[in-house]
Structure 1
């Protein structure tokens, strides 16, 4: 009788059996395909607060009933960062579990109405583009338009377009050219930096508008760094992505990732992003998130790395509202070695001082 659990015998078994693979390769995606991701996820108060607390997002309207009511909410709503991470996490098994660089995400949008705990999230993705990688014959490039929907009403709660490199089953010949990829990107020479950096005096809309006015017409930019940092640990690196059903091996399989460039598991990009945004929001009076564009993840963040944040204020629009004005920011997350790890533009409604 064969003893299957004998170490040498079992090693021979593993060499001979097929592996039931998870995820899809580049050849599995065709433009126009609509993928309905299963399972969905119920957005819970516990999941929301876990995400927010670990990424230092402490806006009281998302924690306390009185602050939520003052903002016009029925109760503390689901935070857009958690909603975005949950929407993407659900897609990973079908879209990107095979691995490959996350090249970017843009046109991240939310509804004007709040999303509350108990909402069942259903997610679908449409393949909008496929392309051959000119520098990496073992990969292709795929873009998807993803929508997170209220399973009961069908309303769109979160939508975005993201692009990934996806492994091919069979490598193809390439022209040897280069693409804009995290490790191959040859940056153009930096433009000359401004002679002066202006820091807003406070976190209200009027403070950002005044700083931009102060910088206007001279060689100055409204830009500043945030003091807080968050060192990545087991909770942020492994627990948070798994709680959003993100099954990518990059975040939870140390065995596989031991031979990767990072040398181990890495932080989910939306944890890095949300942590940097949490630092930034601590220095502003956020009223409502509108959307994000041109998001890029420049290099991996691993356990033990510390995420900091830098902000540049680009525009401020009064928007004829008594409560808030619209501000467009550029946020850059960077690590303990001052290396950028994430960047993106963000549009948010910022509370006016006159509304108090």
Structure 2
């Protein structure tokens, strides 16, 4: 009788065995295709608090009943960062489990009403476009529009558009032009003479800082003190808790041969950590949306994620809320070597100073 566990026998069996693959290649996507992602996910209070605690998002309205009611919620709701990560995580098996570079995400939007723990999330994606990669013949580029809905009511809870490189089954010839950035002529970056810091975290503080910057060669831009070093929880546990099965986050054996040389942090963990740092220095009332999100380089175990913020504009629209004004930020996450790892613009309602 053959002993399949004999090392030589098993090595031969592995060499001859066909792998039952997971995920889809570039050729499997066609513009207009709609994919319904299964399984769904129940957005639990435990999952919400685990995500928030590990990414340092400590807004009390998402933790305590009294603070939630003061904000107008019946109970602490699901945080938009966890909602976004869960919506994307469910899609990974169908869209990007094969690997490839996350090129960006934009038009991230949420409902005006809070999302309650216990909500069953259902997710579908439509293929917006497919194209060749001029720099990497082994990849193609796919853009999807993804929508997460309340399974009971059909209400849209989270929607966004994202773009990935996706491996091809067979490489194709390219013109080799690539997409690498070129250095511009000149002596260096044209930064303002001064970088100003708001005096506080209320809406009025951001308005005052922007008005001060407008009167001179200045920008409202600052770094946040906190950092979060990536560990087993942030790199492996958090993505798996959102059903993100991408091998990049939990298969060190495969990733040892990848450009990163190791497993990497889920982009939404990096993003949420940076936003947690930023929110600790502001009085956030409600998240409105995100645009132009990009991930610039790998974040691996042991790397530390820091954050830098630039305030772009502030608008007081009394018709939306008499307790908050709208502020648009650019957030940049960077590592211990000061290399940018994530960037994106964020729109949020920021609380006004109490009278």
Shorter-chain TM-score tier: over 0.9
Aligned to 1:27: 27
Question: C-alpha root-mean-square deviation of aligned residues, in Å?
Answer: 0.9
Say which is worse superposed, 113-122 or 211-220, in terms of deviation: 211-220
Cα offset for 1:262?
A: 1.3
Q: Which runs of 4+ in 1 moved over 6 A?
A: none
Q: 1:235 aligns with which of 215, 219, 233?
A: 233
Aligned to 1:216: 214
CA distance in 2, matches of 1:148, 1:30: 21
CA distance in 1, matches of 2:259, 2:215: 45
SS at match of 2:41: strand
CA distance in 2, matches of 1:218, 1:31: 49
Aligned to 1:161: 161
Aligned to 2:99: 99
Cα offset for 1:267?
A: 0.3
Aligned to 2:119: 119
Cα offset for 1:232?
A: 0.4
Aligned to 1:56: 56
Q: 1:261 aligns with which of 234, 254, 259?
A: 259
Q: 2:283 aligns with which of 285, 307, 319?
A: 285
CA distance in 2, matches of 1:66, 1:186: 53
Aligned to 2:205: 207
1:193 corresponds to 2:191: yes
Query: How big is each residue's C-alpha offset from its partner over 1:268-322, in whole Å with a ceiling of 9 and x where there is no partner?
Result: 0000000000000000000000000000000010000000000000000011132
Structure 2, unaligned stretches of length 5 or more?
A: none
Structure 1, unaligned stretches of length 5 or more?
A: none
Cα offset for 1:186?
A: 3.8
CA distance in 2, matches of 1:56, 1:187: 36
From the superposition, tell whether residues 188 and 329 of structure 1 become closer, same or farther in structure 2 (CA, over 3 Å).
Answer: farther
Cα offset for 1:187?
A: 5.7
SS at match of 1:270: helix
Cα offset for 1:135?
A: 1.1
SS at match of 1:353: coil
